[in-house]
């Protein structure tokens, strides 16, 4: 599997603990035609584990990829309630979200655990969406240093050729699940810093896609992309409406084509 060029935008939808399998079936049936005309960016949805088989059934052959919201760092074993990469690959998953703040907070995931999960996803030739972000609002330069510090630990064991396959999702903790988002200038500063570090010898000298998540809505698309440094969006609660998700993806495509 060869990932797309780092400059091709990615629009992802993390559906969190929402949608039963029956609801997901209706969701995918509405989403598929709504985004059928979007060819200028990559699309991925991450439903709950219980709906991955529905995604495989309803999205196969479409322009929408699907993946999981988490994974265990081992292939198998006595880990009740966990899900492994072989299980996800069997369901056609090509993306796996790793290190979301809710996993770190609610399940005590350390940077070491996140690093092991990133390595496991890459080992199965899938694409990790590695979520990083600072805990409190503040100076963008300070935020940049904090998230680069996370990357130093969580990508430490990853070879440069594999680092290029990781999608970095910058999600400032203070902007998740609230009625505000970080300013376009703040996001651009942090994301340019992330990209610069990864392009440096310490970071592996690689180009990666760096996307933004955190109360993303259609109104923020153009300002985010025009500010520079943003290669796409990771949509949360707005994506629970397939029409809104499609509108955001269309806006990303339009903004990218205009800037190009």
Catalytic (active-site) positions: 100, 171
Give yes or no for a contact between 14 and 215, defined as CB atoms under 8 angstroms apart. Answer: no
Distances from the Cα of 165 to the Cα of 5, 126, 230, angstroms: 10, 9, 17
Residue 128: alpha-carbon gap to chain centroid: 8
Give yes or no for a contact between 234 and 211, defined as CB atoms under 8 angstroms apart. Answer: yes
User: Residue 95 has what DSSP assignment?
Assistant: E
SS3 76: coil
Distances from the Cα of 54 to the Cα of 74, 90, 91, 235, angstroms: 25, 13, 9, 20
Cα distance from N-terminal residue to C-terminal residue, the chain: 27
**Among 111, 190, 120, 181, CA closest to 148:** 190
Residue 156, C-beta contacts closer than 8 angstroms, at least 6 positions apart: 115
Pairing of strands 95-98, 232-235: unpaired
Pairing of strands 167-170, 209-213: parallel
β partners of residue 12:
44, 234
Cβ neighbours, 10 Å, residue 185: 12
Return the exposure string of 120-133: e unless at least 16 CB atoms fall within 10 Å of the residue's CB, then b: bbbebebbbbbbbb
């Amino acid at each position: 599997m060869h990932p797309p060029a780092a400059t091709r935008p990615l629009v992802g939808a993390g559906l969190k603990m929402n949608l039963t399998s029956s609801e997901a079936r209706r969701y995918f049936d509405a989403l598929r035609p709504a985004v059928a005309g979007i060819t200028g960016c990559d699309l991925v949805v991450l439903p709950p584990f219980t709906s991955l088989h529905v995604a495989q059934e309803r999205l196969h052959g479409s322009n929408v990829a699907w993946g999981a919201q988490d994974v265990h760092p081992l292939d198998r074993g006595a880990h009740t309630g966990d899900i492994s990469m072989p299980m996800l690959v069997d369901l056609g998953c090509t993306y796996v979200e790793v290190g979301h703040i809710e996993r770190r907070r609610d399940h005590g995931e350390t940077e070491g655990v996140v690093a092991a999960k990133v390595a496991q996803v890459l080992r199965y030739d899938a694409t990790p969406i590695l979520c990083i972000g600072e805990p409190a609002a503040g100076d963008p330069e300070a935020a940049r240093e904090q998230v680069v510090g996370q990357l130093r630990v969580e990508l430490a064991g990853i070879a440069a050729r594999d680092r290029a396959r990781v999608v970095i999702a910058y999600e400032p903790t203070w902007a998740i699940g609230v009625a505000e988002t970080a300013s376009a200038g703040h996001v651009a500063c942090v994301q340019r810093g992330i990209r610069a570090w990864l392009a440096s010898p310490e970071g592996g000298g690689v180009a990666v896609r760096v996307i933004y998540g955190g109360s993303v809505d259609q109104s923020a698309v153009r300002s985010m992309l025009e500010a520079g440094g943003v290669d796409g969006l990771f949509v949360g609660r707005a994506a629970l409406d397939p029409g809104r998700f499609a509108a955001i993806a269309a806006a990303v495509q339009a903004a990218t084509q205009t800037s190009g």
